[in-house]
Amino acid sequence: MNHARGARGARGAAPRHDDRRRTFPQLAPRSAPDGRFAATWWGNAWVTALENTALDPARLARGKAYAGRGHVDAITVAPGRVVAYVHGTRPRPYRTEIRMRTLGDDGWERFLDEAAARPDHIAALLDKDVPHALEAVTGLLPAPGDLVPDCSCPDDGYPCKHAAALCYQAARLLDEDPFVLFLMRGRGEQELLAELTRRNAAQAAAEAGAAAPPMPTVPARIALDAATGPGLPPLPPELPVPDRPGRPAVFPPDPDAPDPLALDLLATEAAARAHVFLATGHDPVAALTPWQDAVRLAAAHPGSGLTASSRALYRDLAHALDRTPTDLARAVAAWRQGGAAGLAVLEEPWDPPAGPFDRARPALLAADFPAFRPWRNRLSGESLQLRLGRDGLWYGYESDAGREDWWPRGAPDPDPVGALTDLLGR
């Protein structure tokens, strides 16, 4: 009897919520007069990743038509997977799946740290909005090639029209709730919100404990009396310089406004420059040329690799200065290698004095490196190159064998053997 009562209680219990698996009912048919299925910037980035991966535009067009006519059944989202049945020409629908890699623990730590550090980011997420800065830190959105389609249909297209239809409908889900994107990348909504709440509370407590002492003041009555008397009272002592620069405001997307990510980057840069100037009286950026400043901005862009946001940044900066994105990417590598001196090594050949340059070749031969061809401040091999900077450091470069396509690699070193050893990682 107790066993029967327990069984009835189990059957009558509410189903357990699974934060890492969500199923969305079939979306209603919808036409897209302008050809765009997504309305948000992240939904459009998802569609762009699909369209840049596709090998056959005709299959994409048929998939978009399938999605518009509502041929995609309920969609299930889990970490690394989006699954649905898609109706085609036969009575029985096809099982279609889109796979993508999940974000690693380090990526989620960066995302949570950045989001929790700014109340406006948390507010935006709760309002179902994704600040550009969060995507730039972690690369949440897929790049071309990240979406891997699979379908039970006999079509071997990449993707087939059924997988394309699923991708287009998934973009509509992302529009409505960006936490769907986070789930695709590996974390559920409740899990993320709980962790953000914990970190935000910890940060608020730390800031409250480190609050600045009250600022000294002068009563207005004394100041006014002194203004008509022999002299003003002494000024209060200067305020201490803050430990770090302030954070910029939130820049919501607006079709008539500049790119919000670019605004965020520029505002962050302005705050950092102001903080350095306040602390030291020196502006480290003032003497840079527009090209050097563009390279510095791109080199400071958060994240690694060329994400969708950094590709847009590189394109816009390069276009503004009549350069190509490849020119900028090469210059960024040089800046990360040695700052302004590294950029000069990339772009300015020069004739060094004979002493250190002439001693470099026998030193490399003695270390069992192959012979290098000298030209001005450069020593070149088949795929390796060393360049002597005006700062006395040697900078390593690499290229594919037989090509003059040199890219900065490794750390600069006063010893040419040390620079080449670091470049080869041996």
Residue 347, judged by CB atoms within 10 A of its CB (0-12, 13-18, 19+), counts as middle
Q: What's 56's DSSP letter?
A: -
Q: Which residues contact residue 370 at a Cβ distance below 8 angstroms, ignoring those fewer than 6 apart? A: 381, 382
Amino acid of residue 17? H
H/E/C letters for each residue in 369-401?
A: CCCCEEECCEEECCCEEEEECCCCCEEEEECCC
**Residue among 44, 58, 139 nearest 101 (CA):** 139
d(CA 379, CA 246): 45
Q: How far apart are CA 311 and CA 293, in angstroms?
A: 17
Instruction: Check residue 152 and report its DSSP letter.
Output: S
In this predicted model, what pLDDT tens digit does every residue of 48-100 receive, in sequence order? 888 887 778 888 888 888 988 889 999 999 999 999 999 988 888 999 999 98
Amino acid making up residue 178:
P
pLDDT tens-digit series, residues 94-134: 999 999 888 888 888 888 888 887 777 777 787 788 877 77
Q: What is the pLDDT of residue 291?
A: 94
Q: How far apart are CA 218 and CA 412, in angstroms?
A: 54
Of residues 39, 67, 52, 22, the one with CA closest to residue 168: 67
CA distance 242 to 224: 31
* Nearest CA among 295, 247, 310 for reference residue 120: 247
Q: What is the pLDDT of residue 206?
A: 65
> Exposed, middle or buried, 93 (CB in 10 Å: 0-12/13-18/19+)?
middle
What is the DSSP secondary-structure string of 172-235? HHHHH-THHHHHHTT--HHHHHHHHHHHHHHHHHHHHHTPPPPPP---HHHHHHHHTSS-PPPP
CA dist., res. 145 & res. 152, Å (int): 20
| Spatial separation of the C-alpha atoms in residues 73 and 88, rounded to whole Å | 11
Alpha-carbon distance of 108 to 102, in angstroms, equals: 10
Residue 149: name the closest of 54, 65, 42, 85 by CA.
54
pLDDT (0 to 100) of residue 255 = 65
Q: Which sequence spans correspond to the domains of the chain?
A: 22-193, 260-344, 349-424
Q: What type of residue sits at position 70?
A: G
Q: How far apart are CA 215 and CA 217, in angstroms?
A: 6
Cβ atoms of 215 and 236 closer than 8 Å: yes
Ranges of residues in the chain with a pLDDT under 50 are: 1-16, 303-307, 426
The model's pTM is 0.51
- Residue pair 360/416 in contact by the 8 Å Cβ criterion: yes
pLDDT number for residue 343: 96
Q: Report yes or no: 264 and 133 within 8 Å, Cβ to Cβ.
A: yes
d(CA 262, CA 311): 12
